[in-house]
Amino acid sequence: MSVTDETEIAPETARLPLDGWHRARGGRMVEFAGYWMPIQYDGEGGGIVTEHEWTRSQAGLFDVSHMGQLYLSGEGVESALEAVLPIDLATLKHGRPRYSLLLDEAGGVLDDLMVTRWSEGFYLVVNGATKWDDIAHLREHLPDEITISHMDDTALLALQGPQAATALERLVTGDTPLASLTFMTGAAFTLGGADVWISRSGYTGEDGFEISLPAAAAETVATLLCEQPEVRPIGLGARDSLRLEAGLPLYGHDLSTETNPVEADLGFAINKRRRAEGGFIGAENVQAVLAAGAERKRVGLTLTGRAAAREGAEVFAGQERVGIVTSGGFSPTLGHAIAMAYIARPWADEGTALEIAVRGKRLTATVTKMPFVPHKYHRGS
């Protein structure tokens, strides 16, 4: 993950609703996606590894309010959105988030996002670094009858970890029992006196929740959550190491307009009907890759020691360059380094031995099935 020290950033870097709250709790602020965000909380001691391990065993609170929250509505919104996204909205039930992709005409990935059916429209959560481009793309390609509402007065918090449900259940009220939510379902609740939308989802591989709430209520709700003994605020550093262990791609690193959904191993985001019918931006090129097979594949790599291979490191089979690392780091859970990389298809099979060039040395690596650490999503009994 690319971050920059505060002293090197121009004054126009934006501040999230919880900026002061983070700083008061020892958050070490860095620039990320155009916002000041905490990379870790020095006040808790131990740094990123401690925060990572706390989230794996208890519950971590992440501020992800930099993400773009959009609401699309208007006559014909379902068919209009299907012309832009490779998603089957006919099978998407109310309150059920689903992963999808925003593609360009060549089938390259402009962004990955979550889509939820809300009443008469659709709620989208897009990446913070791309949200303005995403909004412009949607305005260009959706009919004038479709209203795109940027929910810029709304914050987004993620409570992640095995104790997240225990902590959150004490605090919420609503018509739907929190315990009835399973992975990728959501409902409306009241939390800290505010009306909120909670989905059982997240980007750490752990059970957890994402909470969309009024920005004005963010400090009250964050404080209330962190008063629970299971909950600590967690920064960007641990969020990145957790999502890497979970084998989840990060836009701008593992995904870009230079990658297509098939080679990114995201074919599940394009279901059978959309594969057959097409009708979305980039469909022709995506269908061609599906038919012919991708020339390379996003895979996991397990390294033998603690030394990490970072984004941009070249991967070799003997003297032949066969791929490039897109994310990498030390895995606190596993005790050794791991990475994600795009590898030419002949060398992308699980168990293949490869080498990664790092600072003039070759690190041994093995193609490994992802996730590196098993997901612990709550899917019900």
**Are 316 and 377 members of one domain?**
yes
**Are 234 and 318 members of one domain?**
no
Q: By three-state DSSP, how is residue 36 classified? A: strand
CA distance 348 to 366: 10
Half-sphere exposure of residue 48: CA atoms within 13 angstroms, side-chain side: 14
Asked whether residue 76 is domain-assigned, the answer is no
The whole-number pLDDT of residue 9 equals 43
Q: Is residue 2 predicted with pLDDT exceeding 90? A: no
Query: Which structural domain range is residue 173 located in?
Result: 4-65+153-245
Q: Is residue 8 predicted with pLDDT exceeding 80? A: no
**Are 57 and 186 members of one domain?**
yes
The whole-number pLDDT of residue 137 equals 98
**Are 38 and 178 members of one domain?**
yes
Report pLDDT digits (tens) over 175-231. Answer: 999 999 999 999 999 999 999 999 999 999 999 999 999 999 999 999 999 999 999
Asked whether residue 285 is domain-assigned, the answer is no
Asked whether residue 287 is domain-assigned, the answer is no
Report pLDDT digits (tens) over 320-336. Answer: 999 999 999 999 999 99
Q: Identity (one letter) of the amino acid at 47?
A: G
We report the CATH number of the domain holding residue 333 as 2.40.30.110
Asked whether residue 163 is domain-assigned, the answer is yes
pLDDT above 90 covers what percent of the chain?
Answer: 94
**Are 299 and 219 members of one domain?**
no
Are 41 and 29 spatial neighbours (Cβ–Cβ below 8 Å)?
A: no
**Cβ atoms < 10 Å from Cβ of 351:** 8
Q: Is residue 164 predicted with pLDDT exceeding 60? A: yes
**Are 308 and 234 members of one domain?**
no
Asked whether residue 91 is domain-assigned, the answer is no
* Rg of the Cα atoms in the chain: 21
CA distance 268 to 98: 11
pLDDT (mean) for 96-103: 98
pLDDT above 70 covers what percent of the chain?
Answer: 96
pLDDT (mean) for 145-153: 98
We report the CATH number of the domain holding residue 175 as 3.30.1360.120
Asked whether residue 58 is domain-assigned, the answer is yes
**Are 238 and 302 members of one domain?**
no
Q: What is the 3-state secondary structure (H, E, C) of 112-164?
A: EEEEEEECCEEEEEECHHHHHHHHHHHHHHCCCCCEEEECCCEEEEEEECCCH
Give CA 247 to chain center in angstroms: 11
Task: Show the beta-strand stretches assigned E in 237-313.
Answer: 296-303
Report pLDDT digits (tens) over 282-340. Answer: 999 999 999 999 999 999 999 998 999 999 999 999 999 999 999 999 999 999 999 99
The whole-number pLDDT of residue 42 equals 83
The whole-number pLDDT of residue 380 equals 87
**pLDDT band (50, 70, 90) for residue 46:** low
Are 347 and 301 spatial neighbours (Cβ–Cβ below 8 Å)?
A: no
The whole-number pLDDT of residue 4 equals 40
The count of domains in the chain is 2
Q: Which tokens go with 235?
A: 């920064």
